[in-house]
Structure 1
Amino acid sequence: MNQLAVTESDLHAYVDGLLSDARSEEVAAYLAARPEELARMAAYREQNEGLRALFNPVLDEAVPSRLRTGLEDRASSFSLAPSYLRFAAGLLIAIVSGAGGWMLHGSAQTGSLAGSTIKNSDAHIALTGFARQAAIAHGVYTPDVRHPVEIGADQEDQLVTWLSKRTGADMHPPKLGKLGYELVGGRLLPGESGSPVAQFMYQEAGGQRLTLYVSTDQAQNKDTGFRFAQQGAVNVFYWIDGKFGYALSGGVNKAELAKIAHVVYEQLETKPQ
């Protein structure tokens, strides 16, 4: 029987102790022959242990009353909408829970996105539906040098008109220039049910790219929480707002992607949909 190739997902699952004994032995043998990879996995394991030691003691603590009062006062003074507060809370939970040891990996045996899960002590949340489609689309199109988008940012008006017409919704791309990311352009993609979805691509000076995937057929999706997922080197923040599903994907670290997701959400909240 041929041994399955060792994927990046296998390596992360090995570090987290999620592989079967047999697969773990295969990955250990793979690493033993590759000192640099072995050192990289050792660094990941050390980082995980450090994060657990730092955050596990406070995960179950109640939020101090002075902090709850401060948040309520600030929300009142700025007249924040309830949906914005839900987003902020979800964003905070996603970030903190990640520091507490939530990890998302592909299937241990195939490396497939279809088997990806966010894992904590209470639940397994599958990376499925539009978020999975977004992660796949990000991986397919961001490496393309010549044709990463169908319509470039130099024709943004045409892009907006075309995507809005095809999706039946306002598809103005958020402005991320203040964060160092400029619009590259966008494209139309098929969604889960065949309905059209939009993908906007951004790039910063160093060449790092982000994609924002927008689906308009999520009205029946009740999983409205703000989620974080990680597949290999790609991080994803995704959420649902009414019929819209949004997924922001990129190779940047979790904290930076969360900051960008926050700005995206703010801009989307100010536009009629």
Structure 2
Amino acid sequence: MNTPKAPPPIVTAQGASGSTHIRSFVHRRAHITPSQEQAIAQWLQQWAIRYQNAPLDLSAAFGRAAPTILEIGFGMGETTQQIAQARPGDNFLGVEVFNAGVGALLKRIHDNELGNIRIIQHDAVEVLRDMIRPGSLAGAHIYFPDPWPKKRHHKRRLIQPAFVELLVSRLAPGAYLHCATDWEHYAQQMLAVLSAESGLQNTCADYAPRPDYRPLTKFENRGLRLGHGVWDLIFTRRTPDGVASATEAN
């Protein structure tokens, strides 16, 4: 009988590159299932990219040149999988810090034979700053980030002016930024912060209808049945000549 190989080391945001920014996540001892652990052991090296303090060659990472969408905080990967399946012509780079989510998405990639997803298990701010070249992304998804509901924790929310400025610098002209939240106060903060960023233009007067490409998750469906609201925001990066992109025109 073959002796199973030891799983590869899991790359997390701990021990990162000395950054002093306030993190939007806290490492907790979270439950991870045996199937998620097995997925990490078997497929992490195939589908994950190790954090490095150097620009990433996206074409080499995916084995092809295609529009690349960054997803920050993909959770269990349900939405990532469905969007990647529906849009096979796009590349999807998912950034997540928690082992259970990484294992869950790796299993989805394997089970559904998806070749257009890659994972970086690291702090999204440092990934954007160090690995993503300016103007290289066709879009970015930030779905249901931790709302940090207590007022004293609002400083930990991901959508802050400095972060948005960094993210916008990595978007190509005309590329889109799509955020969604089920916390009304956070939605209001998102709208204010994104609207104040000079490099962005809102595609709607304020909040956007949920686009067809973003599927409803089980948790979102449950919240909607209970009467909870969900707010989508879709902005595009302004083009140098100020001409609206196709997304904005629609």
> Please, what TM-score do these two structures have when normalized by structure 2?
0.29
**Relative contact order: is structure 1 or structure 2 higher (C-alpha 8 Å, sep ≥ 6)?**
2
- Where is the helix percentage greater, Structure 1 or Structure 2? 1
Q: Bigger radius of gyration, 1 or 2? A: 1
Return the TM-score normalized by structure 1: 0.27
